[in-house]
Structure 1
Amino acid sequence: MRIVCVGGGPAGLYFSILAKLTNRQHDITVIERNPAGVTYGWGVVFWNDLLDDLHRNDPVSARQIEEAAARWDTQEVHLRGQLATRVGADGFSMGRDRLLDILTRRARELGVDIRYQCDVQDLSAFADAELIVACDGVNSRLRQQHASHFQPRVEEGKNKYIWLGTNKVFDAFTFAFAQTPAGWLWFHAYRFNNETSTCIVECQQETWEALGFGTMGPEETLRKLEDIFQRHLKGHSLFHQLRGMGKAPWLHFKRITNERWYHDKVALMGDAAHTTHFSIGSGTKLAIQDAIALARRLREHNHLPDALQAYDEERRSALVAIQLAARSSSEWFESVPDHIDQSTLQFAHALLNRRGSSVWSYLLLLASQQPALRGVLRGIHASRRWVRSQQHGRRGDQARSA
């Protein structure tokens, strides 16, 4: 089969890997508009469920991803000079550039043709392709060209946010809240290597306007935010990835859904098909799970329309619950001032359980405040990690002997 993936992000690369593993005779090309080695974004986040999926489908790249990833088992909430800690399930993060490097090398090893600096305007150049995977991002041109069929819906969030990096290394997944005369700002931060962390700053539109960010240049914006969060950054710097752009990259989150995920021989994947709010850290996971599902459906169905229909039904159904959770999470952050007057512990519980609360989650939070119990919880998680690593190792041995 002649397959073209438009977009060289995790979705397109991982799908190309799985398709090649299914049938080495597939002729697969990945088209990327950026130069080789150039990508926007800082660290990506994923959890044990995605790591398990990776080991089940390609233990070779899974092992490399696991070894390269930073890991944490703690979340922290900083408010008014106080700290609430929760020890919970493992989280992983790694630089987007490192993830793409691993997937690119694996895809090329399997014979995938990857072409850079190719800006696809339409599909006329791929008339001979039997399947075109549109994984060209939030502003997908291929989705827009067939909008009447895909029927996309784009909803814009209320808050302003900016995606930055910092040389402050956060060993825990950290939420920090700072009060200004104009209102509250906060950041979501996590390290993705030993030198750098992602730092997403967010605030309400009214606060953003009152602080004058709309008239500030990029460097002035960074210095202002460093001043606001000086207690939490402890003298470390914030930085951006503008590469010649003149404005600080403040955004409103775009929530994207589509009524249908395929048209003729074109299938949507990743952010072109859906987005979920960054506060639940699921974008990379869902993109890769899209790739897994489409590759599996192609194996199961000899008739391409049947495979695409099954893929459409499976993934749109699978996303319903997580999209609802993401909406709840984004709406919680849009109403931070309604929660902020609680004690730090109460506020932390509301934040960490914003997608659904239980008595056990509150007890876990209470236990995590005690150093001795934190040690016990970490010991339990360490044991679970060991068991999981043994399972992954056995799966890798089976793959090598196959």
Structure 2
Amino acid sequence: MSTIYQQVQPVCPIVFGVDTLAELPGYIRSYHGTRVFCVCDQGIRNTNIITSLTDTLEKQNIFYTIFDGVVPDAPDDVINAAAKLARESHSDLVIGIGGGSSMDTAKAISVLLDNPGTISDYYARNASEFSSRIPLILLPTSSGTGSEVTGLCVIHDTASHAKIPVYRSANLAIVDPMLTVSAPPAVTAASAFDAMSHALEAYTSKYHTEKVDTLALQAIQLIAKNILIAYVDGNNITARENLAFASNIAGIAFNEVSVHIGHAIAHEFGLQFHLSHGVACALTLTTVLHDIFSIDSNRGIAVAQLFGYDPSTHAQQPEEYLQDKIHNLLRDTGIQSLNARGITLEQALGCATGAINNNGFLDASPVPVTQEHMENAIRFLYESYC
């Protein structure tokens, strides 16, 4: 049975529930779609997810084209090539199915179906106006990015090696936890940590609201309780549902108040060390927590309590307790430290300047992010988890 709810900005209806993929044709018809452009990566293409999708479309006599060339970080050249194929196929509706890169790529392709030129023409920093008439439906296959409910996509600009946003939201998100069952343990863990970083950074954003706090704390609690269960047993549907819902509401939360220092570091780690986004985000969790404890210990304690902290039974200070919990989760899910990956502290500190210069959302940080603070943040995450 599906549950339907809607966020306010951007306006995006969300259909949530097991087996809601079956409802897709009805929504395609409601958008008057006749020629669908499906966007995914090779990994998803080789699963039964795409078979289920195409079988569903064929039964309804809906024409489709599949682009399965998505690669990590949604580079601009891949998007431009895919958009050329979408234009040639005269597609009138785009479906993005997969993780964050697939959904970001689908968002960008939908922009270019509606507008001329290349994706760099529509970078947010260029302040270009463009239309968004082509319907866009997103179906996440991992529980992490929240991209299905955010108002932008993040593009890897291959000329500058920076990650640059383009504003485009989906017309509909279908969140079917069954689509995440095939995600292998490593992807399950990295995705869940990505969602936790969204929730934690939204909760610690200087723009946080009571609504965001409620969503973020619920997401953190659901992830903390279910990440190991889903990592060990990917067929546990209850755990998959809980992670899918946590990812979705964490996406709604950070879409309203932004992420900050954790994601700035993670973006640079991803570009420089070729780490997956979820893994890079996982490694930044402790330094984000360190910041919040330094300025508002009560908010830090609220997070610690979600991980089981009780001052009457635990001798540790709440931050030390929470840091240990996070590090244990990283170890239990196979997330190696930077040091274990052969990355030196000097190399990690070398990411500080790029993390500041390439991420305009740092103004949401609860503390001012100077060069010194960024270097200290990177040093903390490096030395506290070896």
TM tier, shorter chain?
under 0.3
Structure with larger Rg: 1
TM-score (norm 2): 0.25
Q: Please give the TM-score of this superposition, normalised by the length of structure 1.
A: 0.24
